[in-house]
Amino acid sequence: MNSIPDATTVAFFRERLRKAEVIEELFERFEAYLRSQGLQARGGQIIDATLVPVPKQRNTREENNEINAGRLPEGWDDNPDRLQQKDLDARWTTKNSISYFGYKNSICIDVDHGFIRRYAVTPANIHDSQMLPRLLDPENEHDYVWADSAYSGKCFEDLLNLGGFESLIHEKGARNHPLSDAAMELNRIKSSIRACVEHVFGCMTMSMGGKLTRKIGLERNEAWWGLKNLTFNFLRYIQRSTHIATVS
């Protein structure tokens, strides 16, 4: 007899977890288990974000203006079935001259073990750097913080200094003030460590069903990606445990 639950059962269970508001608690409980197994956050931390696309909405420009202003477009509340299919929380953003609609999954991983230690799910138009205070992990045994140039700037350097962290954030050039050769070389050195976080997003893309999400609204996307981040940690733990058993 097949004991694996079907997709509908999984969906109902996920929704029950969301309504009970226990997903973050589950994430923290597994974090506590990792620490009990000697896998506490070490080696410093890497912070990054990935875009989470959702199906595009077929709204008029006027309707989008109302949504962006935090208002419900006129007449939408007259059709509850239609309203259920409208995502009022997702936002547009542009990256490398390409427009995206959806959310962002921002994460912090530790360098030594590669587990996600903290995360935040936001609309896509929220700049990566705004999540830095929420993502910094004070429990990491080492003070180093790696991130790309989206997190650069004096205010963030001051924040890291205030928290006792050592910044290894990429330097960013400016118009008429390009980076020096020394700064570019230092960025390349930092990239050799920072690239570890790309392996996390790569795993989610290649082995965990990709990043396109068909959930509607911020709450459901927070639940979906909170569980996805937790599942990545499960898989990472199994991978490490299997490797250790094989070596032994």
SS3 15: helix
Q: Which residue has the tokens 């020096």?
A: 180
Task: Tell me the average pLDDT across 187-192.
Answer: 93
Q: Which residues contact 27 (CB under 8 A, 6 or more apart)?
A: 119, 226, 229, 230, 233
**In 3D, which of 198, 7, 176 has the Cα closest to residue 114?**
198
- Using a cut of 0.85, tell me whether the model's pTM lies above it: yes
Tell me, rounded to whole angstroms, the distance of Cα 151 from its chain centroid: 14
Contact 101, 92 (CB under 8 A): yes
In whole angstroms, give the CA distance from residue 97 to residue 29: 40
> Quick one: what percent of the chain has pLDDT higher than 90?
73
**pLDDT score of 126:** 95
Grade residue 1 by pLDDT with cuts at 50, 70 and 90.
low
Grade residue 248 by pLDDT with cuts at 50, 70 and 90.
low
Tell me, rounded to whole angstroms, the distance of Cα 41 from its chain centroid: 17
**pLDDT score of 18:** 96
* Stretch (H or E) spanning 145: strand 144-147
**Domains in the chain and their CATH numbers?**
41-54+90-217 (3.30.420)
Cα distances (angstroms) measured from residue 187 to each of 45, 109, 168, 182, 195: 16, 19, 9, 9, 12
Task: Tell me the average pLDDT across 221-239.
Answer: 97
pLDDT digits (tens, 9 = 90+) for 9-49: 999 999 999 999 999 999 999 999 999 999 999 999 999 99
Tell me, rounded to whole angstroms, the distance of Cα 142 from its chain centroid: 22
Contact 19, 52 (CB under 8 A): no
**pLDDT score of 188:** 94
Output the average pLDDT for the chain. Answer: 92
